[in-house]
Amino acid sequence: MKRFLSLLLFAIPIHAAISQEATALETHGASDRELAGWVERYMADAQKFDHFSGVVLIARGDRRIFGRPYGMANYELNVPNTLETRFRIGSVSKTFTAAAVAKLHQQGRIDLDRTICAYLKDCPSQWRPVTVRQLLSHTSGLVNFTSLPEAKGSFLTLPHTHEEIIGLFRNRPLESAPGEKYSYNNSAYYLLGVIVENVSGLPLAKYLQDTFFTPLKMVGTGDDAGEGLVAGRASGYRQAGDGGIANTYYIDMTNSFAIGGLHSTAEDLLLWGQAFDSTLLFDRPVLDEIFTPARNSDYGLGWALGPVGDCSHAYHDGGITDFSASLQRITSRGITIVAISNRGNDGGIKVAYDIAGRICGAPATVRGIQEQMQVLSRDEQFRLVEKARGKFPRFRINEALVDEIAKDLSSRGKLQQAIEVHGLNTLLYPQSANAYRRLGEAYMSAGDRAGAEASFRKCLELDPSDVRAAAFLQEVVTGAGKKQ
């Protein structure tokens, strides 16, 4: 996501080192040490600017590349996060629900291409064309119940039976023909959890424990809906309006069931991701089905699929009550990335995507290119942003984030580089009067009156009512006159 004057003498070798490292990281032969060093620096910025709280864990095959906790599991009690802290993982739980279905399929107990009505009681007639595979790949056409007004607000704070949840959408017409198009769907995964229970004869949580958690020694993973105490569980937090933090909102986790009801640790999610690198859990034909996208979908059986930059990629993200998690398998590089956060703003997801992007040449957010922004000219930064957008169309950048980086540079006395970053905003947002006013202020701080005057005049051209820019302009012009 971001010319050197007095910085020129030492900026050139830094620039060269960063460029060389970026090239190394974007090739297949990137060293683990280089990646770990970059992640360490990246996470320092993620903490400073985004207040990241959680855990990041990276491995290449069985070899650990990076693992570190950040922030607090409980801010009130001053309890830090650890690699074993248990976090809600939201929709990363879907990888487990889908795996349960795949296991029953491997055993011949579920036919993925059979109607879901073969495995559900009181199945409405409009569901008969829907197959189990279409539930798994989000191509069923069912109404997504979590988008309904009835499933919001106080509904979330109370426990509901399967019948009550399914009742929200069972009589609604399909939104599209089964198999016709992809549309992310929590109704589908709720039904898959019910199907697992009906076929196995066990509660979903028990089936997952017996089939996956215990055999894989995933001792920190379980159903988050129980009333018992969970040792080492993190609390959830959100950013408060005053810049501080506040406790997250309450929901009854029984409603999250098969769609997002698990808690886990970074260590356990790493084990889970690595389990798909062999035939430990599934025969090769079933593994191939899991990681083959369905027709009209970029989703297999519980995993999103597709490229990230120059790499092939199987992943799942999750967000719930200010927790966010991402489990990413960079399959073409043999690398697994786990990032989990308990402090709002999709922290775990953004971190995971930026790390994947660093490996594969497609950063996801401005934070992923912040290191380069601190040495490049505005034009070079702009080209870097355009490249990032081309590689990853959902690349996240906005004026406020860029401005924040520039202000930090200024606070550290790096005035000329702050000018370059403010200048980037004028290239990204050429109709923003604010961007030009801030650039003018940066020029003033650096004593460049000509640059300040030109910037303030451009600001007032875009917004003649900007009284601050008018006052600054008057100050610059008057000061220049006095100096003469």
- pLDDT block averages, 10 residues each, the chain of length 484: 25 35 43 95 96 97 96 97 98 98 98 98 96 97 97 95 97 96 97 98 98 98 90 94 89 97 98 96 97 92 93 96 98 96 96 96 95 97 95 92 97 97 98 98 96 97 96 87 42
Do 157 and 106 lie in one domain? The reply is: yes
Residue 184 lies in a domain: yes
| Same domain? 313 vs 393 | no
Whether residue 344 sits in one domain with residue 306: yes
Strand (E) or helix (H) holding 243: none
β-strand pairing of 311-320 with 304-308: antiparallel
DSSP annotation of 50 reads: H
In a domain, 18, yes or no: no
Tell me if 302 sits within 8 A of 99, measured CB to CB: yes
User: Which residues, listed in sequence order, are joined to residue 238 by a DSSP beta bridge?
Assistant: 246
Instruction: Decide if 235 is inside a domain.
Output: yes
CB 316 within 8 A of CB 92: yes
Nearest to 405 by CA among 373, 378, 430: 373
SS3 300: coil
State which of 326, 359, 392 marks the end of a domain: 359
* Residue that is written with structure tokens 């050429």 in the block: 430
Residues 273, 430: Cα–Cα separation, whole Å: 44
**Whole-number pLDDT of residue 24:** 37
Q: Is residue 436 part of a domain?
A: yes
Within a domain: residue 421?
yes
Q: By the 8 A CB rule, do 265 and 84 touch?
A: yes
* Residue 185 and residue 306 share a domain: yes
Q: Which residue has the tokens 């400073």?
A: 48
Q: In sequence order, what E strands does 309-383 have?
A: 311-320, 323-330, 335-341
Question: Same structural domain for residues 236 and 346?
Answer: yes
The amino acid sitting at 163 is E
pLDDT score recorded for residue 216:
98
Q: Which domain CATH number covers 415?
A: 1.25.40.10
In the block, which residue shows the tokens 């912040």?
370
Q: Which domain holds residue 303?
A: 87-359
Query: 346 and 418 in one domain?
Result: no
* Residue 73 belongs to some domain of the structure: no
Whether 302 and 207 share a structural domain? yes
With CA atoms as reference, report the closest residue to 32 among 313, 284, 355, 466. 355
Same domain flag for 280 and 404: no
Residue 58 included in any domain: no
Q: Is 335 helix (H, G, I), strand (E, B) or coil?
A: strand
Query: Is the domain of 332 the same as that of 224?
Result: yes
Domain count, the chain: 2
Residue 122 CA neighbour count, 13 Å, CB half: 7
Q: What values do phi and psi take at 15, rounded to 5?
A: -55, -45
Q: Do 273 and 418 belong together in one domain?
A: no
Does 74 map to a domain? Answer: no
211, 100 contact by CB (below 8 A):
yes
Which residue, 64, 82, 59, is CA-closest to 72? 82
Domain identity same for 300 and 388:
no
d(CA 406, CA 400) in angstroms, rounded, equals: 10
Distance CA 415, CA 34 (A): 29
**Same-domain status, 274 and 397:** no
Look up the pTM and report it: 0.91
Say which CATH number the domain at 188 has. 3.40.710.10
Q: In Å, how far are 52, 67, 222, 273 from 268, measured between CA atoms?
A: 20, 13, 11, 9
Q: What is the dihedral of CA 255, 185, 269, 70, to 10 degrees?
A: -80
